[in-house]
Structure 1
Amino acid sequence: MKFLFDLFPVILFFVTFKWGESHVPQAQDLASHYLSGLISGGIATPDQAPILLATAIAMLASVLQIGYLLARRKKVDAMLWISFIIISVFGSLTIYFHSETFIKWKPTVLYWCYGAALFMGQYIFRKNLIRTAMESQIKMPDLIWSRLGIVWIGYCIIMGFANIFVAFNFSTDTWVNFKLISIVAIMPAFVVAQSLFLSKYMEETA
Protein backbone atom coordinates (compact mmCIF):
# COMPACT_ATOMS: atom_id res chain seq x y z
CA MET A 1 0.00 0.00 0.00
CA LYS A 2 2.83 2.41 0.84
CA PHE A 3 4.40 1.67 -2.53
CA LEU A 4 1.19 2.75 -4.32
CA PHE A 5 0.93 5.81 -2.08
CA ASP A 6 4.47 6.86 -2.98
CA LEU A 7 3.67 6.28 -6.66
CA PHE A 8 0.55 8.44 -6.54
CA PRO A 9 2.05 11.52 -8.31
CA VAL A 10 3.85 9.39 -10.92
CA ILE A 11 0.73 7.42 -11.79
CA LEU A 12 -1.36 10.58 -12.11
CA PHE A 13 1.37 12.17 -14.26
CA PHE A 14 1.32 9.15 -16.58
CA VAL A 15 -2.48 8.92 -16.80
CA THR A 16 -2.91 12.67 -17.34
CA PHE A 17 -0.25 12.81 -20.05
CA LYS A 18 -1.74 9.83 -21.90
CA TRP A 19 -5.21 11.34 -21.67
CA GLY A 20 -3.88 14.69 -22.86
CA GLU A 21 -2.22 13.10 -25.87
CA SER A 22 -5.50 11.44 -26.84
CA HIS A 23 -7.62 14.52 -26.14
CA VAL A 24 -5.41 17.42 -27.22
CA PRO A 25 -8.17 20.07 -27.65
CA GLN A 26 -9.59 19.32 -24.19
CA ALA A 27 -6.10 19.26 -22.66
CA GLN A 28 -5.30 22.61 -24.25
CA ASP A 29 -8.57 24.08 -22.95
CA LEU A 30 -7.85 22.89 -19.41
CA ALA A 31 -4.22 24.03 -19.49
CA SER A 32 -5.18 27.42 -20.89
CA HIS A 33 -7.99 27.88 -18.38
CA TYR A 34 -6.18 26.80 -15.21
CA LEU A 35 -2.53 27.46 -16.02
CA SER A 36 -2.58 30.55 -18.23
CA GLY A 37 -1.74 32.80 -15.28
CA LEU A 38 1.32 30.68 -14.53
CA ILE A 39 2.63 30.36 -18.09
CA SER A 40 5.00 32.93 -19.55
CA GLY A 41 2.98 34.46 -22.36
CA GLY A 42 -0.24 32.93 -20.99
CA ILE A 43 -0.72 30.45 -23.84
CA ALA A 44 -0.49 26.65 -23.82
CA THR A 45 -0.01 25.35 -27.35
CA PRO A 46 -1.52 22.00 -28.40
CA ASP A 47 1.84 20.21 -28.34
CA GLN A 48 2.68 21.60 -24.88
CA ALA A 49 -0.70 21.10 -23.21
CA PRO A 50 -0.41 17.37 -22.28
CA ILE A 51 2.96 17.71 -20.50
CA LEU A 52 1.98 20.98 -18.80
CA LEU A 53 -1.27 19.51 -17.54
CA ALA A 54 0.44 16.29 -16.39
CA THR A 55 3.10 18.31 -14.57
CA ALA A 56 0.51 20.43 -12.78
CA ILE A 57 -1.45 17.34 -11.71
CA ALA A 58 1.73 15.66 -10.40
CA MET A 59 2.58 18.79 -8.39
CA LEU A 60 -0.94 18.88 -6.93
CA ALA A 61 -0.71 15.17 -6.09
CA SER A 62 2.57 15.77 -4.24
CA VAL A 63 0.97 18.57 -2.21
CA LEU A 64 -1.95 16.28 -1.34
CA GLN A 65 0.49 13.52 -0.33
CA ILE A 66 2.34 15.74 2.11
CA GLY A 67 -0.87 17.35 3.35
CA TYR A 68 -2.49 13.98 4.02
CA LEU A 69 0.45 12.74 6.07
CA LEU A 70 0.70 15.97 8.06
CA ALA A 71 -3.06 16.00 8.70
CA ARG A 72 -2.84 12.43 10.00
CA ARG A 73 0.16 13.43 12.13
CA LYS A 74 2.32 10.86 10.39
CA LYS A 75 6.00 11.18 9.69
CA VAL A 76 6.91 12.45 6.22
CA ASP A 77 9.95 10.53 5.00
CA ALA A 78 12.98 12.59 4.01
CA MET A 79 12.84 11.03 0.52
CA LEU A 80 9.24 12.24 0.14
CA TRP A 81 10.24 15.78 1.17
CA ILE A 82 13.10 15.74 -1.34
CA SER A 83 10.78 14.52 -4.09
CA PHE A 84 8.23 17.20 -3.17
CA ILE A 85 10.82 19.99 -3.33
CA ILE A 86 12.24 18.81 -6.65
CA ILE A 87 8.85 18.39 -8.35
CA SER A 88 7.83 21.81 -7.04
CA VAL A 89 10.93 23.51 -8.47
CA PHE A 90 11.21 21.68 -11.78
CA GLY A 91 7.45 21.52 -12.27
CA SER A 92 7.12 25.27 -11.75
CA LEU A 93 9.91 25.92 -14.26
CA THR A 94 8.25 23.57 -16.76
CA ILE A 95 4.93 25.38 -16.52
CA TYR A 96 6.31 28.93 -16.48
CA PHE A 97 8.67 28.44 -19.41
CA HIS A 98 6.23 25.95 -21.05
CA SER A 99 9.20 23.67 -21.68
CA GLU A 100 9.30 19.93 -21.03
CA THR A 101 13.09 20.08 -20.60
CA PHE A 102 12.83 20.91 -16.90
CA ILE A 103 10.43 18.11 -15.94
CA LYS A 104 12.53 15.65 -17.94
CA TRP A 105 15.51 16.52 -15.72
CA LYS A 106 13.48 15.97 -12.53
CA PRO A 107 13.96 12.14 -12.22
CA THR A 108 17.70 12.48 -12.84
CA VAL A 109 18.08 15.19 -10.21
CA LEU A 110 16.05 13.06 -7.79
CA TYR A 111 18.15 9.94 -8.42
CA TRP A 112 21.38 11.87 -8.05
CA CYS A 113 20.19 13.57 -4.85
CA TYR A 114 19.48 10.14 -3.38
CA GLY A 115 22.84 8.87 -4.61
CA ALA A 116 24.67 11.89 -3.17
CA ALA A 117 22.92 11.44 0.18
CA LEU A 118 23.92 7.77 0.29
CA PHE A 119 27.50 8.60 -0.74
CA MET A 120 27.95 11.38 1.83
CA GLY A 121 26.32 9.30 4.53
CA GLN A 122 28.60 6.34 3.91
CA TYR A 123 31.91 8.03 3.15
CA ILE A 124 31.76 11.43 4.83
CA PHE A 125 29.51 11.00 7.86
CA ARG A 126 30.31 7.29 8.29
CA LYS A 127 26.63 6.39 8.43
CA ASN A 128 25.28 3.83 6.00
CA LEU A 129 21.71 5.03 5.31
CA ILE A 130 20.68 1.71 3.76
CA ARG A 131 21.84 -0.06 6.91
CA THR A 132 19.97 2.43 9.07
CA ALA A 133 16.77 1.71 7.17
CA MET A 134 17.09 -2.08 7.07
CA GLU A 135 19.14 -3.21 10.05
CA SER A 136 16.12 -3.74 12.31
CA GLN A 137 14.99 -6.55 9.96
CA ILE A 138 18.33 -7.85 8.67
CA LYS A 139 21.64 -8.65 10.38
CA MET A 140 24.71 -8.80 8.13
CA PRO A 141 28.47 -8.22 8.33
CA ASP A 142 29.75 -4.66 7.98
CA LEU A 143 31.41 -5.44 4.66
CA ILE A 144 28.10 -6.55 3.12
CA TRP A 145 26.35 -3.41 4.32
CA SER A 146 29.12 -1.34 2.75
CA ARG A 147 28.80 -3.20 -0.55
CA LEU A 148 25.03 -2.79 -0.49
CA GLY A 149 25.44 0.94 -0.03
CA ILE A 150 27.79 1.06 -3.04
CA VAL A 151 25.27 -0.89 -5.13
CA TRP A 152 22.51 1.58 -4.30
CA ILE A 153 24.76 4.55 -5.09
CA GLY A 154 25.59 2.95 -8.42
CA TYR A 155 21.93 2.26 -9.13
CA CYS A 156 21.02 5.91 -8.54
CA ILE A 157 23.84 7.15 -10.78
CA ILE A 158 22.99 4.73 -13.61
CA MET A 159 19.26 5.44 -13.48
CA GLY A 160 19.99 9.17 -13.54
CA PHE A 161 22.00 8.81 -16.73
CA ALA A 162 19.42 6.40 -18.21
CA ASN A 163 16.70 8.98 -17.68
CA ILE A 164 18.75 11.67 -19.47
CA PHE A 165 19.46 9.33 -22.36
CA VAL A 166 15.81 8.41 -22.88
CA ALA A 167 14.51 11.92 -22.23
CA PHE A 168 16.67 13.63 -24.84
CA ASN A 169 17.06 10.91 -27.45
CA PHE A 170 13.48 9.69 -27.75
CA SER A 171 10.01 11.19 -27.91
CA THR A 172 8.30 12.62 -24.84
CA ASP A 173 5.78 9.77 -25.02
CA THR A 174 8.60 7.21 -24.83
CA TRP A 175 10.15 9.07 -21.91
CA VAL A 176 6.85 9.11 -20.00
CA ASN A 177 6.56 5.34 -20.53
CA PHE A 178 10.14 4.84 -19.35
CA LYS A 179 9.51 7.04 -16.30
CA LEU A 180 6.69 4.74 -15.18
CA ILE A 181 8.46 1.51 -16.14
CA SER A 182 11.59 2.52 -14.22
CA ILE A 183 9.52 2.65 -11.02
CA VAL A 184 7.00 -0.16 -11.45
CA ALA A 185 9.32 -2.64 -13.17
CA ILE A 186 13.02 -1.78 -13.05
CA MET A 187 13.16 -0.78 -9.38
CA PRO A 188 11.16 -3.82 -8.15
CA ALA A 189 13.41 -6.07 -10.26
CA PHE A 190 16.46 -4.43 -8.69
CA VAL A 191 15.02 -4.93 -5.19
CA VAL A 192 14.25 -8.60 -5.92
CA ALA A 193 17.79 -9.15 -7.20
CA GLN A 194 19.10 -7.44 -4.09
CA SER A 195 16.97 -9.69 -1.87
CA LEU A 196 18.33 -12.80 -3.58
CA PHE A 197 21.86 -11.51 -3.03
CA LEU A 198 21.24 -10.71 0.63
CA SER A 199 19.52 -14.03 1.39
CA LYS A 200 22.83 -15.83 0.93
CA TYR A 201 24.50 -13.74 3.58
CA MET A 202 21.54 -13.87 5.93
CA GLU A 203 21.71 -17.66 5.82
CA GLU A 204 25.45 -17.60 6.46
CA THR A 205 25.16 -15.26 9.43
CA ALA A 206 22.05 -16.89 10.96
Structure 2
Amino acid sequence: MKQFIDFIPLLLFFIVYKLDPRIVDIAGHDFELGGIYSATKILIASSILVYGALFVRQRKLEKGQWLTLLACLLFGGLTLAFHSVTFLKWKAPVVNWLFALAFAGSHFIGDRVLIKRIMGHALNLPDAVWVRLNLAWVAFFLFCGAANLYVAFTFEDFWVDFKVFGSLGMTLIFLVAQGVYLSRHLKDGDTPPTPPKD
Protein backbone atom coordinates (compact mmCIF):
# COMPACT_ATOMS: atom_id res chain seq x y z
CA MET A 1 0.00 0.00 0.00
CA LYS A 2 2.81 2.42 0.87
CA GLN A 3 4.28 2.08 -2.62
CA PHE A 4 1.01 3.19 -4.18
CA ILE A 5 0.62 6.23 -1.93
CA ASP A 6 3.77 7.53 -3.64
CA PHE A 7 1.91 7.40 -6.97
CA ILE A 8 -0.92 9.76 -5.88
CA PRO A 9 0.98 12.99 -6.68
CA LEU A 10 2.22 11.43 -9.91
CA LEU A 11 -1.32 10.55 -11.01
CA LEU A 12 -2.53 14.07 -10.22
CA PHE A 13 0.43 15.43 -12.18
CA PHE A 14 -0.57 13.26 -15.14
CA ILE A 15 -4.24 14.33 -15.03
CA VAL A 16 -3.42 18.05 -14.94
CA TYR A 17 -0.73 17.66 -17.62
CA LYS A 18 -3.28 16.10 -20.00
CA LEU A 19 -5.83 18.90 -19.57
CA ASP A 20 -6.10 21.53 -22.26
CA PRO A 21 -4.68 24.72 -20.74
CA ARG A 22 -7.42 26.89 -19.20
CA ILE A 23 -7.83 29.53 -16.53
CA VAL A 24 -9.86 28.48 -13.49
CA ASP A 25 -11.14 30.69 -10.70
CA ILE A 26 -10.47 29.36 -7.20
CA ALA A 27 -11.60 31.55 -4.29
CA GLY A 28 -11.42 34.68 -6.42
CA HIS A 29 -7.94 33.93 -7.82
CA ASP A 30 -7.18 32.91 -11.39
CA PHE A 31 -5.03 29.82 -11.87
CA GLU A 32 -3.80 28.26 -15.08
CA LEU A 33 -4.64 24.56 -15.22
CA GLY A 34 -3.26 22.22 -17.88
CA GLY A 35 0.17 21.65 -19.36
CA ILE A 36 3.52 20.85 -17.85
CA TYR A 37 4.05 23.86 -15.58
CA SER A 38 0.69 23.79 -13.84
CA ALA A 39 1.07 20.00 -13.55
CA THR A 40 4.44 20.59 -11.86
CA LYS A 41 2.79 22.95 -9.37
CA ILE A 42 0.16 20.29 -8.65
CA LEU A 43 2.92 17.68 -8.25
CA ILE A 44 4.70 19.82 -5.66
CA ALA A 45 1.52 20.78 -3.78
CA SER A 46 0.09 17.25 -3.73
CA SER A 47 3.44 15.79 -2.62
CA ILE A 48 3.55 18.22 0.29
CA LEU A 49 -0.06 17.34 1.20
CA VAL A 50 0.35 13.55 0.88
CA TYR A 51 3.67 13.31 2.72
CA GLY A 52 2.58 15.97 5.20
CA ALA A 53 -0.53 13.92 6.04
CA LEU A 54 1.58 10.77 6.37
CA PHE A 55 3.99 12.61 8.65
CA VAL A 56 1.16 13.86 10.88
CA ARG A 57 -0.45 10.40 10.99
CA GLN A 58 2.72 8.33 11.51
CA ARG A 59 4.89 10.97 13.22
CA LYS A 60 7.61 10.12 10.71
CA LEU A 61 8.39 9.50 7.06
CA GLU A 62 10.55 6.70 5.72
CA LYS A 63 13.89 7.71 4.21
CA GLY A 64 12.63 6.85 0.73
CA GLN A 65 9.62 9.10 1.20
CA TRP A 66 11.85 11.96 2.35
CA LEU A 67 14.02 11.43 -0.73
CA THR A 68 11.01 11.42 -3.05
CA LEU A 69 9.57 14.57 -1.45
CA LEU A 70 12.89 16.46 -1.52
CA ALA A 71 13.53 15.45 -5.14
CA CYS A 72 10.04 16.64 -6.08
CA LEU A 73 10.63 20.00 -4.39
CA LEU A 74 14.11 20.38 -5.90
CA PHE A 75 13.48 19.30 -9.49
CA GLY A 76 9.94 20.69 -9.59
CA GLY A 77 11.13 23.97 -8.10
CA LEU A 78 13.97 24.25 -10.64
CA THR A 79 11.55 23.46 -13.47
CA LEU A 80 9.29 26.33 -12.40
CA ALA A 81 12.09 28.76 -11.56
CA PHE A 82 13.89 28.33 -14.89
CA HIS A 83 10.78 27.47 -16.92
CA SER A 84 12.59 24.40 -18.25
CA VAL A 85 11.12 20.90 -18.24
CA THR A 86 14.63 19.40 -18.46
CA PHE A 87 14.97 19.53 -14.67
CA LEU A 88 11.77 17.54 -14.17
CA LYS A 89 12.90 14.94 -16.70
CA TRP A 90 15.94 14.23 -14.51
CA LYS A 91 13.87 13.67 -11.34
CA ALA A 92 12.87 10.03 -11.90
CA PRO A 93 16.32 8.85 -13.07
CA VAL A 94 18.12 10.56 -10.19
CA VAL A 95 15.69 9.26 -7.55
CA ASN A 96 15.87 5.72 -8.94
CA TRP A 97 19.66 5.79 -9.05
CA LEU A 98 19.86 7.12 -5.49
CA PHE A 99 17.67 4.21 -4.37
CA ALA A 100 19.96 1.83 -6.29
CA LEU A 101 22.96 3.40 -4.56
CA ALA A 102 21.35 2.97 -1.14
CA PHE A 103 20.58 -0.71 -1.78
CA ALA A 104 24.06 -1.33 -3.22
CA GLY A 105 25.78 0.56 -0.39
CA SER A 106 24.06 -1.61 2.19
CA HIS A 107 26.28 -4.51 1.05
CA PHE A 108 29.22 -2.58 2.48
CA ILE A 109 27.69 -0.45 5.24
CA GLY A 110 25.90 -1.96 8.22
CA ASP A 111 25.35 -5.54 9.29
CA ARG A 112 22.38 -6.31 6.99
CA VAL A 113 21.49 -5.52 3.40
CA LEU A 114 18.80 -2.89 3.02
CA ILE A 115 16.01 -5.22 1.87
CA LYS A 116 16.54 -7.33 5.00
CA ARG A 117 16.31 -4.21 7.14
CA ILE A 118 13.02 -3.36 5.44
CA MET A 119 11.42 -6.82 5.29
CA GLY A 120 13.40 -8.87 7.81
CA HIS A 121 10.81 -8.46 10.57
CA ALA A 122 8.22 -10.22 8.40
CA LEU A 123 10.27 -12.90 6.64
CA ASN A 124 12.80 -15.48 7.73
CA LEU A 125 15.17 -16.13 4.81
CA PRO A 126 18.76 -17.34 4.45
CA ASP A 127 21.34 -14.56 4.09
CA ALA A 128 22.16 -15.65 0.53
CA VAL A 129 18.53 -15.10 -0.48
CA TRP A 130 18.50 -11.64 1.12
CA VAL A 131 21.67 -10.74 -0.81
CA ARG A 132 20.20 -11.91 -4.14
CA LEU A 133 16.97 -10.06 -3.41
CA ASN A 134 18.85 -6.88 -2.54
CA LEU A 135 20.88 -7.12 -5.77
CA ALA A 136 17.61 -7.53 -7.68
CA TRP A 137 16.40 -4.24 -6.19
CA VAL A 138 19.66 -2.57 -7.22
CA ALA A 139 19.19 -3.82 -10.80
CA PHE A 140 15.52 -2.79 -10.78
CA PHE A 141 16.26 0.80 -9.74
CA LEU A 142 19.17 1.10 -12.19
CA PHE A 143 16.93 -0.15 -15.00
CA CYS A 144 14.03 2.16 -14.04
CA GLY A 145 16.34 5.17 -13.92
CA ALA A 146 17.84 4.37 -17.32
CA ALA A 147 14.43 3.66 -18.88
CA ASN A 148 13.01 6.95 -17.58
CA LEU A 149 16.02 8.90 -18.84
CA TYR A 150 15.92 7.25 -22.27
CA VAL A 151 12.20 7.84 -22.78
CA ALA A 152 12.30 11.42 -21.41
CA PHE A 153 14.94 12.57 -23.89
CA THR A 154 14.09 10.31 -26.84
CA PHE A 155 10.29 10.22 -26.89
CA GLU A 156 9.39 13.64 -25.53
CA ASP A 157 5.71 13.34 -26.51
CA PHE A 158 5.30 10.22 -24.38
CA TRP A 159 7.62 10.73 -21.43
CA VAL A 160 4.87 11.84 -19.01
CA ASP A 161 2.76 8.79 -19.93
CA PHE A 162 5.79 6.56 -19.37
CA LYS A 163 6.70 8.33 -16.13
CA VAL A 164 3.29 7.44 -14.71
CA PHE A 165 2.20 4.18 -16.32
CA GLY A 166 5.63 2.83 -17.23
CA SER A 167 6.92 3.32 -13.69
CA LEU A 168 3.77 1.83 -12.19
CA GLY A 169 3.87 -1.11 -14.61
CA MET A 170 7.56 -1.83 -13.99
CA THR A 171 6.98 -1.70 -10.23
CA LEU A 172 4.01 -4.08 -10.39
CA ILE A 173 5.88 -6.57 -12.59
CA PHE A 174 8.91 -6.46 -10.32
CA LEU A 175 6.82 -6.94 -7.16
CA VAL A 176 5.03 -9.94 -8.70
CA ALA A 177 8.38 -11.44 -9.75
CA GLN A 178 9.72 -10.82 -6.24
CA GLY A 179 6.67 -12.54 -4.76
CA VAL A 180 7.17 -15.58 -7.01
CA TYR A 181 10.86 -15.73 -6.09
CA LEU A 182 10.12 -15.42 -2.37
CA SER A 183 7.35 -18.03 -2.45
CA ARG A 184 9.88 -20.70 -3.46
CA HIS A 185 12.02 -19.91 -0.43
CA LEU A 186 9.23 -19.37 2.07
CA LYS A 187 8.03 -22.94 1.68
CA ASP A 188 11.38 -24.19 2.93
CA GLY A 189 12.52 -21.35 5.18
CA ASP A 190 9.29 -20.69 7.07
CA THR A 191 8.37 -24.28 7.92
CA PRO A 192 8.64 -24.61 11.68
CA PRO A 193 11.01 -27.33 12.89
CA THR A 194 9.44 -30.62 13.95
CA PRO A 195 9.74 -31.10 17.70
CA PRO A 196 11.86 -34.10 18.74
CA LYS A 197 9.98 -37.21 19.79
CA ASP A 198 10.72 -38.79 23.17
Q: Which amino acid aligns with 1:96?
A: A
Assess, with a 3 A threshold, how the Cα gap between structure 1 residues 99 and 199 changes in structure 2: closer, same or farther: same
Match of 2:118 among 109, 114, 133: 133
Q: Measure how far apart 1:185 and its partner are.
A: 1.5
Map of 2:59 onto structure 1: 74
Q: Which amino acid aligns with 2:12?
A: L
Aligned alpha-carbon RMSD (Å): 2.1
Alignment: residue pair count:
186
Match of 1:201 among 170, 185, 198: 185
Assess, with a 3 A threshold, how the Cα gap between structure 1 residues 28 and 69 changes in structure 2: closer, same or farther: closer
Contact 1:28 1:50 in 2 (8 A): no
C-alpha offsets along residues 104-136 of structure 1, whole Å, 9 cap, x if unaligned? 110001101111111112223343111111112
After TM superposition, the structure 1 stretch with the greater mean CA deviation from structure 2, 146-155 or 129-138, is 129-138
Contact 2:100 2:141 in 1 (8 A): yes
Q: Which amino acid aligns with 1:122?
A: H
Q: Which amino acid aligns with 2:15?
A: V
Q: Give TM-score scaled by structure 2 length.
A: 0.86
Mapped partners of 1:96, 1:127: distance in 2: 41
Contact 2:144 2:167 in 1 (8 A): no
SS of the residue aligned with 1:99? coil
Map of 1:188 onto structure 2: 172
Contact 2:14 2:39 in 1 (8 A): yes
Mapped partners of 1:130, 1:196: distance in 2: 16
Aligned counterparts, 1:5-154, within 5 A = 5-19=5-19, 23-24=20-21, 26=22, 50-154=35-139
Q: Measure how far apart 1:4 and its partner are.
A: 3.7
Q: Which amino acid aligns with 2:103?
A: L
Consecutive unaligned residues of structure 2, counting only runs of 5 or more, are 192-198
Higher strand share: 2
Higher helix share: 1
Assess, with a 3 A threshold, how the Cα gap between structure 1 residues 34 and 96 changes in structure 2: closer, same or farther: farther
Mapped partners of 2:23, 2:107: distance in 1: 46
Assess, with a 3 A threshold, how the Cα gap between structure 1 residues 107 and 80 changes in structure 2: closer, same or farther: same
C-alpha offsets along residues 10-39 of structure 1, whole Å, 9 cap, x if unaligned? 1111111011xxx13x16999xx658xxxx
Assess, with a 3 A threshold, how the Cα gap between structure 1 residues 3 and 124 changes in structure 2: closer, same or farther: closer
SS of the residue aligned with 1:123? coil
Assess, with a 3 A threshold, how the Cα gap between structure 1 residues 156 and 73 changes in structure 2: closer, same or farther: closer
Assess, with a 3 A threshold, how the Cα gap between structure 1 residues 128 and 139 changes in structure 2: closer, same or farther: same
Mapped partners of 2:137, 2:118: distance in 1: 13
Mapped partners of 1:145, 1:10: distance in 2: 30
Mapped partners of 1:153, 1:116: distance in 2: 7
Percent identity among equivalent residues?
A: 33
After TM superposition, the structure 1 stretch with the greater mean CA deviation from structure 2, 193-202 or 120-129, is 120-129
Contact 2:23 2:31 in 1 (8 A): no
List structure 1 runs of 4+ shifted beyond 3 angstroms. Answer: 1-4, 27-30
Mapped partners of 1:101, 1:188: distance in 2: 27
